Amino acid sequence: MKRTAALRAVALGAAVAMIATACASGSGGNEEAEGDGDNVTLTWWHNSNTGVGKDYYDQMADQFETDHPGVTVEVSAMAHEDMLTKLDAAFQSGDQPDVFMERGGGELKAHVEAGLVKDITDSAADTISAIGGSVAGWQVEGKTYALPFSLGVVGFWYNKAIFADAGITAAPTTMDELYAAIDTLKAAGIEPISVGAGDKWPAAHYWYYFALRQCSQEVLADATQTLDFSDDCWVRAGEDLEALVAKEPFNTGFLATVAQTGPASASGLLATGKVAMELAGHWEPGVMQGLTDDGLGLGENTGWFAFPAVQGGDGDPTAQLGGGDAWACSNDAPDVCVDFLEFMLSNEVQKGFAEYDMGLPTLPSATAFVSAPELAQLLAVRNEAPYIQLYFDTAFGESVGGAMNDAIANVFGSVGSAQDIVDATQAAAENA
Amino acid sequence: MNPGATDQATAWSVASGPRGRGASSNAWRKRLEITFFVAPALVLFALFVIVPVLQAGHYSVYKWNGLGPLDNFVGLQNYVQALGDQIFQRSVRNNLTIAFLSIAIQLPIGIMVALLLNRRFRGQTAMRVIVFVPYVLAEVVAGVVWALILQPNGPLDALLDSVGLGAIGQVWLGDPKVALWTVMGVLTWKYSGLAIVLLLAGLQGVPEELHEAAQIDGASWWQVQRKITIPLLGPTIRTWIFLSMIGSLQLFDMVWILTKGGPVNATVTMATYLINQGTDRQQYGYASAVAILLFAISFILAILYQTFFLNRDAGEDKPRRKKVAR
C-alpha cells in the first residue's frame, strides 16, 4: 500500500511540476533574435491594419529588407486600440517591439525615465533637422527619442451644404462669428455642433483650445515642464468654455455621445448630416468615410476651418492644437533600427504616405503630395502656425490628463466650474 | 504510470497488509486521492486568484505607473486617497443602490413570473425560453443593442412617440439624473431571467402533496403561495440574493458599454472607477488599492451574508425540510 501511495505522490508531484513548467515557459518565450551583424530581426508594430495603408507598410518593410541584406522586418499590423493595449503590457514587461509608435508628451517621458526608448539625437541627426520643429513634441530634456511621421491639428469640420442652406457664407474666424453661426443654425432647426463628451477627450479639446488662445506660449511651455497652473489664463479658458456650454450648441444627449463609434457618435452625426460641425483632428474625414454606406463620408461637402480667435487672450490666434504619431526604437533594439526609422521618414516613404492619405506627413518636402483639398488646407494652417501645442492630456501624461479631462467634462455637464478644472488638474499634478 | 507496476503494488499490499494497518492506510489512500484530484484546481486557484490578490495588495502600497521597479513606497496613501475621493464614494453608493434595487425589483418579478410559468399552459416551454434569453445573451451584445435603442431619437423614443407617450421620452443615457435608472432598467431586463430560472428550479422541489393538502383544507391560491411555496423557496431565494448582491457589487460590463460610468459620473461603479481612474491613467498602484477595497467590500458582505443567512440552509434547514416533506 505504501508504495502505491508513494507512486501516486510522485505522479502528483510530476503533474504539479508539469503545470508549473508549462506556466513558466509561457512567460519567457518572446526572446528576440538580436543577431550581431549578419542576421537581424526587427519587430515592428503599427496600426494601419486595413486596405492600402497595410499594403503600403508591407511593401516598405520588403523594400527595407532588400536594401539591407540580412535584416528581417517582422510586421504586426493591428487595430489602434489593440496596439495601445498590447504596447502598455509590453512596456510593463519590458519586451516591447523594436519599432513602435510614440505619441509624445508625458507618456514618452515616462518611457524614457524607465529606460525603454532609444536616444536617437545623434544617430538620426540629419532626419531630425529635415523634419524641423515638428519633432519638438518627441524630445525630452533636449534629447530626441522618436521621429514624427504624421502631425495633425484640431479644427472644426463642417458640412458645407448645411452651412450654405442656413445662409452662412463664410467660415467663422472669431468666437463672435461662431456664436452667430450657432444662432443661425439653431434658428434653421439644425443642431449646430456634435461633441463626443462621453469619451471626454473630444470635449476637452475645447478647453485646450481656449487655453491655447488665453495663455501665452511661455505659460504653456512652462506648464508642460513644471505642471504649474497658477496663471489666471487657465481659469479664463474655463470661463470661455462655460460661456460656450451656456449657449447650448451641442447635440442632444452629448454627455453620453461617443467620439467615433457608430452612427450616433459625434463623427457619425456629422457624417450623416444630423449636425453642422464638429471639433476634431485630421483623422475626421477617414472616420466619417467609415461611418457612411457609400464610404465617402461628407464627400464634397467636407469643409474645415481653424479654431476661432478669442478676444483678449494672451495666446497667438494662429497657434494650433495638435498631435501626431512618431516611430521610436526600443532601447535594446539593434542599431539598424535607427536606419529603419530614417527610412520611414525618407522623402520617398513620406511621399507615398501622403499620396495614400494615410496621415499628414511631417517632412516639409512631402506635404505637397496630400491630395484631399480640405487636408491640404489644414496642412497649410499647420505649416503656418507659430507653434503647435501637443494635446494637453498627452503632454501632461495620463494621470494629470485624465483628471483634467474629467473636470472639463464636468463643465460640459454643468456640475463643475472653470476654477474646478484648474484645481483638479493642479491636484493631480501634485499627486503625480 | 505503468499498469503492471500498479497491479504488482496492489497485489503486494493486499497480500502483506494485515487488517488493522489496512484501515489506516485506507484513510491515507483516501487523503492522497483527494489531494490528487483537488491539487490541480488548487494550483490554478492559487495562481489565478490568490497570487493576483496578494500582488494587488503589494502594488497598492506603492505609487507606480506600471513601468520600471516598484520603488516609491507610499504606505496606505492610495487607500486614504480612494476613500476620500468623492467619485469613489459615489461609486460605492451606486453599487449599493444597484444591489438593493436589483433585489427589491427582481425578486418580486422573479417570484411572480416563476409562479406563473410553473402552472401548466400551452407554450409554457417557449415562455420559459423567452424569459431566460436575456440572461444568456452576451453582455456586450445586449449592451450595444440597448445603447442603440436608447440613443436620442432612437427606437425607444420613436416607440413612445408612436403610442402617444412622446412626452415621457428622455435623454436616457445622456442625462445625469436619468442614466442610473436607465441602467437599472437594462439590468433588470438582463438579470430577471436568472432569478426566474433559479426560482422555477426551486419550485420543482416543493412537494405537490402540500399544495393538495392545503387546498383540501380550503386555502386559496394566494394563501398556498404565501404560506407554503415562498417559505419553501427560502434557500433558493437566499442563494439568488447572494449571487445578485455580489454581481451588483462587481458590476462592470453593462455600465461600461452603456455609459462608461458617465454622464459626469452618474453611473460610476467601483469597477468602472478602477478602470477609469486607475489603469487607464497608468496609476497601477492606485488601481490596485481600489481593487483591494472592492475585494474587501465584496468579501465582508459575502461573509456577513453567509453567516447570517446562508448558514441556515447548510445547517438546520435541510432536516426541517425533510420533516415537512414526510
* Banded model confidence at residue B314, pLDDT cuts 50, 70, 90: low
Best of B51, B55, B65, B277 to substitute, by most chain A Cβ atoms within 10 angstroms, is B65
Output DSSP code: residue B206.
S
The pLDDT of residue A320 is: 92
Write down the residue that cell numbers 410559468 correspond to: B117
Name the pairing type of β-strands A40-46 and A71-77: parallel
Q: Cβ neighbours of residue B313 under 8 Å, at least 6 residues apart? A: B234, B235, B238, B239
On whether both B24 and B89 belong to a single domain, the answer is: no
CA-wise closest residue to A288 among A300, A279, A280, A296 = A296
Q: Is residue B62 part of a domain?
A: no
Q: Is residue B70 part of a domain?
A: no
On whether both B110 and B43 belong to a single domain, the answer is: no
Per-residue pLDDT tens over the stretch B234-284: 899 999 999 999 999 999 999 999 998 889 899 999 999 999 888 888 889
On whether both B47 and B163 belong to a single domain, the answer is: no
Per-residue pLDDT tens over the stretch A215-261: 999 999 888 888 999 999 999 999 999 999 999 999 998 999 988 88
On whether both B50 and B165 belong to a single domain, the answer is: no
Compute the distance between CA of residue A64 and CA of residue A73 in angstroms, rounded to an integer: 8
Asked if pLDDT for residue B7 goes beyond 70, the answer is: no
Q: Do B1 and A410 touch (CB under 8 A)?
A: no
Compute the distance between CA of residue B20 and CA of residue B18 in angstroms, rounded to an integer: 6
On whether both B87 and B41 belong to a single domain, the answer is: no
The pLDDT of residue B22 is: 60
Domain harbouring B132, CATH code: 1.10.3720.10
On whether both B200 and B146 belong to a single domain, the answer is: yes
On whether both B82 and B117 belong to a single domain, the answer is: yes
Q: Do B29 and A4 touch (CB under 8 A)?
A: yes
Q: CA-nearest residue of chain A to B267?
A: A256
How many CB atoms are located within 10 Å of the residue A231 CB?
19
The pLDDT of residue A133 is: 78
Q: Which residues of A288-314 are buried (b: 16+ CB within 10 A; e: fewer)?
A: bbebbeeeebbeeebbbbbbbbbeebe
Q: What is the pLDDT averaged over residues A126-144?
A: 87
More confident residue, A281 or B279: A281
On whether both B163 and B286 belong to a single domain, the answer is: yes
Q: Is residue B177 part of a domain?
A: yes
Count of domains forming chain B = 2
On whether both B278 and B312 belong to a single domain, the answer is: yes
Asked if pLDDT for residue A190 goes beyond 80, the answer is: yes
Name the pairing type of β-strands A143-144 and A191-194: unpaired
Residue B108 structural domain: 77-325
Best of B146, B151, B258, B268 to substitute, by most chain A Cβ atoms within 10 angstroms, is B151
On whether both B258 and B194 belong to a single domain, the answer is: yes
Length of chain B measured in residues: 326
Compute the distance between CA of residue A341 and CA of residue A99 in angstroms, rounded to an integer: 8
Q: Is residue B234 part of a domain?
A: yes
Compute the distance between CA of residue A178 and CA of residue B19 in angstroms, rounded to an integer: 98
On whether both B210 and B108 belong to a single domain, the answer is: yes
Question: B-chain residues within 8 Å CB-CB of A416?
Answer: 264
Q: State whether the Cα torsion A316-A322-A324-A329 is positive or negative.
A: positive
The pLDDT of residue A286 is: 82
Per-residue pLDDT tens over the stretch A83-117: 888 998 898 888 899 999 999 988 899 899 889 99
Asked if pLDDT for residue A29 goes beyond 60, the answer is: no
On whether both B120 and B42 belong to a single domain, the answer is: no
Q: Is residue B45 part of a domain?
A: yes
Q: Do B13 and A3 touch (CB under 8 A)?
A: yes
- Annotate B54-114 with DSSP letters as a single string: HHHHHHTTB---SSS----B-TTHHHHHHHH-HHHHHHHHHHHHHHHHHHHHHHHHHHHHH
- Annotate A265-305 with DSSP letters as a single string: SHHHHHHTTSEEEEEE-TTHHHHHHHTSTTS-TTGGGEEEE
CA-wise closest residue to B114 among B39, B191, B196 = B196
pTM, two decimal places: 0.81
Q: Is residue B44 part of a domain?
A: yes
Q: Is residue B6 part of a domain?
A: no
